[in-house]
Amino acid sequence: MDLGIAGRKAIVCASSRGLGRACAMRLAEAGCEVVVNGLDPARLEATAADIRKKTGAKVTAVAANVATPEGQAALFAACPEPDILIANNAGPPFRDFRELDRQKMIDGVIGNMIVPVELLQRAIDPMIRKKFGRIVNITSGSVKMPLVGLDLSSGARAGLTAFLAGVARSVAQHNVTMNFLLPGPFDTDRLRSNHEITAKKQGITVEQALAHRMSTIPARRLGQADEFGATCAFLCSAHAGFITGQNILMDGGIFPGAF
C-alpha cells in the first residue's frame, strides 16, 4: 500500500534501536525523510546508515537526550517543521513505589509526560498551517493494564494520554492527528534485559523466563518490532486522517477487556 507520505519529514525520537528504530525504518520505506535520535552516537550512526542502505531515504542522525531542552533544540534544528512526530522515550525502571522519592517521581513525569508535550508544542503550529500533521506517542500497555513496579511509568503515561485527548480533538479539523501506540511484550533489547533480571531472581535461564512469559500471551509469541513499525507508519499515512485521539494496544491479546 502506498501510504501517501513520500517526501514528508519525520522526527522519530529514541530510534537507534528497538521499536523507535522500527518506526523510523518503516517511515523511510514509505518515502519520508527521517531524523533518527539516540544517546549512543556510534549506534545511532550505524542505525542511520542501515536505514539509508535499505531504503535510499535521506536519514539524519541527531545524538541528543530528547528529555533536555538542548536535545529538543538539536532535533528541531535538524528538522524545523516536521510533518510527522514520533514521541518516544525510555520509561523509569521497575521499582517498588515505596522507593520513589520526590525527585524520582518528578524525573519520571518529565520523561514520560512533559517531554512529549514539549515536542508537540514545537511541532504543532507548522502542521496546522500546512494542513497535515501526524503525531504518534509511544506509551505502554501498562496505561490500560498497570503493572506493579511500573507505577511511575504507568501514571506519567496515563497523564500524557489524558492531557492530549482534548488537544487531539482541538486540531483534528486541520488534518492533524494524535494517537497513542501501546506496546506489550515485544522482542527488544529492553524486554530481554528485563527477563535476564527475572531469570536471575528466580534461578532459571533467560530462555525459561521468556518461555513462561510467552505462555501468558494469547498469541503465544512476542511481538516483532517491524509489525509495530508498520502500524506506526499507517497511523502516519494519508489514509489515517480520520483516526485521532485513540489508544492502539499491541499486546498479543493480553488485555482481557472488550474496550
Q: What is the mean pLDDT of the chain?
A: 95
- Residue 190: pLDDT band (50, 70, 90) is confident
pLDDT of 83-109, one tens digit each?
Answer: 999 999 988 888 889 999 999 999 999
Q: Is residue 90 classed as helix, strand or coil in its secondary structure?
A: coil
Average pLDDT over residues 209-233: 95
* Calpha distance 173→44 (Å, rounded): 36
* Calpha distance 158→86 (Å, rounded): 17
- Residue 192: pLDDT band (50, 70, 90) is confident
Q: What is the CATH number of domain 9-186+224-250?
A: 3.40.50.720
Grid coordinates given for 224? 516483532
pLDDT of amino acid 19: 97
Grid coordinates given for 58? 535521506
pLDDT of amino acid 199: 83
What is the separation, in whole angstroms, between the first and last Cα of the chain?
Answer: 28
**Poorest-pLDDT segment among 61-70, 169-178, 181-190:** 181-190
pLDDT of amino acid 198: 79
What phi and psi, each to the nearest 5 degrees, are found at residue 178?
A: -135, 125
User: Which part of the chain is CATH 3.40.50.720?
Assistant: 9-186+224-250
Average pLDDT over residues 44-72: 97
pLDDT of amino acid 225: 97
| DSSP E strand boundaries for the chain | 9-12, 33-38, 59-63, 84-87, 133-138, 176-183, 247-250
pLDDT score of 34 more than 90:
yes
67-90 CB burial, b ≥16 within 10 A, e <16: beeebbebbbebbeebbbbbbbbe
Grid coordinates given for 254? 493480553
pLDDT score of 194 more than 80:
no
